[in-house]
């Protein structure tokens, strides 16, 4: 098959070479964006008098036909035509005749593919922001049910202090809020039009780049034609932002996995987000959480892959940059799927409040309360810390917890300890008293929930 760019060549590559160099296997995902860009481009060519209106009308009709076929999944792409741009141009010529070849007037595949990716990410980032918001809403809904559910808080994966379970859940709300802010900010750098930059130096045709940008819904155009075709910062930024979201999801997934074990039993996942074993009938595995934890690595890999591709490429376009797409597509697919799965997983999970109650009444996570109690009585905190540590050791030796230790034994370590200490050591009291700004106290958590709802609007 003769290439659309083949006039200078006397010899064709073998088919396996074409297959190695072709991108149509993955960039066909840009089909609608490519057609959208072409519609804007040819409309602009007509407005500027570069193409006669009859040609513009014919090309627009042909593009409309291709778009309809694309939506219906009826387009057949060929490796011999390399990429989405040449495939569509060949289809357009087949559809309306040689006039279809005029579509490429005043543009290059270099600015064309950059335009496609800007359009693609603009739409997908908007979708991702909506998914992040939906997940936040689910977290808030679960948190509202568990403001006064007391759970063990951890540091080093060891029991630390009792907390409101809602407070724990809302931690992820704020992570996602920062993720949303990063994606929203990145839209400023995605929402720029490269169209009309040509191969790298602009064009001699009297085009109107601002008109093209307006037709495509872009807020601005690249000021430098070389930057327009070589910039992939916006994809790197997308991959970086996505990596942070996946890091947050992976941390949450790890906790979901731990909480659902028999050792914790803090939650139970819905059957729809669990799987069984082919050999062990009793198993209920948190596979979706595990898979999201695993997929985090591939998103990180996509980021590092593109950074490595870009680190040594001179200006402007190089074939290396064909490697910018697969990781981008894969990350979009992975992130969108992970957010949808996680939202459903959290929305349908059952919190085992009885088990959480048992957990906080059978540990030493209230030890800080005793140290604080002594400090409020005038004992230096460092001394209070030591006294409390000795009492914890006494409990361990006797098989007690602090609430079980007789007052007389406590008073052997400090005469400042009185009968009211048992009220202070109660887990509910321990949580409710922590009302510093942003703390786990019930009134603070309620305020945090109100703030979260206000942000969700």
Statement to judge: residues 178 and 67 lie in one domain: no
Residues 24 and 169 in one domain: no
User: Does residue 252 lie within any of the structural domains?
Assistant: yes
pLDDT value at residue 20: 72
Same domain, 98 and 119: no
In contact, 296 and 249? CB cutoff 8 Å = yes
Do 238 and 94 fall within a single domain?
Answer: no
Q: Per the domain annotation, does 192 fall within a domain?
A: yes
Q: What is the domain range of residue 180? A: 110-358
Final residue in a domain of this structure, among 358, 374, 408: 358
Distance CA 182, CA 203 (A): 35
Pairing outcome for strands 192-193 and 220-221 = parallel
Is the per-residue pLDDT at 1 higher than 60?
A: no
- Greater confidence, 27 or 48? 48
pLDDT, position 7: 66
Q: What are the pLDDT digits (tens) for 33-44? A: 999 999 999 999
* Mean pLDDT, rounded, for 228-243: 98
Structural domain contains residue 393:
no
* pLDDT of 4: 61
Do 69 and 134 lie in one domain? The reply is no
368, part of any domain: no
- pLDDT score of 3: 61
What domain count does the chain have? 2
Active centre residues (catalytic): 156, 277
Backbone phi and psi for residue 349, each to the nearest 5 degrees, phi listed first: -70, 150
Q: Which residues contact 354 (CB under 8 A, 6 or more apart)?
A: none
The tokens describing 153, both together, are: 């808080």
89 with 123, same domain: the answer is no
Same domain, 176 and 272: yes
DSSP reduced 3-state for 161: strand
- Could you tell me the CATH number of the domain that includes residue 142? 1.20.200.10
Say if residue 394's pLDDT is above 60: yes
What does the pLDDT read at residue 14? 67
Helix axes 109-144, 325-348, angle to 10 degrees: 10
Region class of 251: left (phi > 0), else alpha (psi between -120 and 50), else beta: alpha
Q: Are residues 49 and 137 in the same domain?
A: no
Do residues 62 and 141 both lie within one domain? no
Judge residue 214's burial from the number of C-beta atoms within 10 Å of its C-beta, 0-12 exposed, 13-18 middle, 19 or more buried.
Answer: middle
107-123 average pLDDT score: 97
17: pLDDT strictly greater than 80: no
How far apart CA 284 and CA 266 sit, in angstroms, is: 15
Q: Does residue 438 lie in a domain region?
A: no
């Amino acid at each position: 098959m003769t290439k659309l760019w083949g006039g200078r060549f006397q010899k064709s590559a073998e088919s396996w070479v074409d297959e190695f160099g072709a991108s149509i296997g993955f960039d066909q995902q840009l089909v609608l964006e490519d057609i959208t860009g072409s519609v804007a481009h040819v409309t602009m060519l007509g407005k500027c008098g570069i193409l006669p209106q009859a040609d513009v009308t014919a090309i627009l009709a042909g593009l409309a036909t291709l778009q309809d076929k694309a939506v219906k999944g009826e387009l057949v792409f060929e490796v011999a035509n390399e990429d989405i741009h040449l495939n569509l141009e060949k289809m357009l010529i087949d559809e309306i005749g040689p006039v279809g070849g005029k579509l490429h007037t005043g543009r290059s595949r270099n600015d064309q593919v950059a335009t496609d990716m800007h359009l693609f990410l603009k739409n997908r980032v908007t979708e991702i922001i909506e998914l992040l918001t939906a997940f936040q809403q689910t977290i808030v809904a679960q948190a509202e049910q568990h403001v006064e559910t007391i759970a063990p808080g951890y540091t080093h994966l060891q029991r630390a202090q009792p907390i409101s379970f809602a407070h724990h859940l809302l931690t992820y709300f704020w992570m996602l809020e920062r993720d949303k802010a990063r994606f929203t900010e990145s839209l400023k750098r995605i929402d720029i039009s490269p169209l009309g930059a040509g191969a790298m130096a602009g064009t001699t045709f009297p085009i109107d780049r601002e008109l093209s940008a307006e037709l495509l819904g872009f807020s601005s155009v690249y000021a430098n034609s070389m930057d327009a075709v070589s910039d992939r910062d916006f994809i790197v930024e997308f991959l970086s932002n996505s990596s942070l979201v996946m890091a947050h999801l992976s941390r949450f997934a790890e906790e979901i996995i731990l909480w659902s074990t028999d050792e914790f039993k803090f939650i139970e996942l819905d059957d729809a987000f669990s799987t069984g074993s082919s050999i062990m009938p009793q198993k209920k595995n948190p596979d979706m959480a595990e898979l999201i934890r695993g997929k985090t690595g591939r998103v990180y890999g996509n980021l590092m892959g593109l950074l490595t591709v870009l680190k040594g490429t001179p200006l402007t376009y190089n074939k290396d940059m064909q490697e910018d797409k697969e990781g981008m597509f894969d990350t979009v697919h992975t992130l969108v799927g992970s957010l949808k799965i996680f939202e459903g997983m959290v929305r349908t999970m059952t919190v085992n409040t009885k088990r959480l109650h048992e957990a906080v009444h059978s540990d030493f996570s209230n030890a800080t309360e005793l140290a604080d109690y002594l400090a409020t009585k005038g004992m230096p905190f460092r001394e209070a810390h030591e006294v409390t540590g000795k009492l914890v050791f006494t409990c361990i030796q006797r098989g007690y917890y602090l609430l079980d230790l007789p007052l007389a034994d406590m008073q052997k370590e400090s005469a400042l300890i009185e009968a009211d200490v048992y009220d202070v050591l109660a887990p509910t009291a321990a949580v409710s008293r922590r009302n510093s700004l942003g703390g786990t106290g019930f009134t603070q958590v309620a305020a945090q929930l109100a703030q979260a709802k206000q942000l969700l609007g």
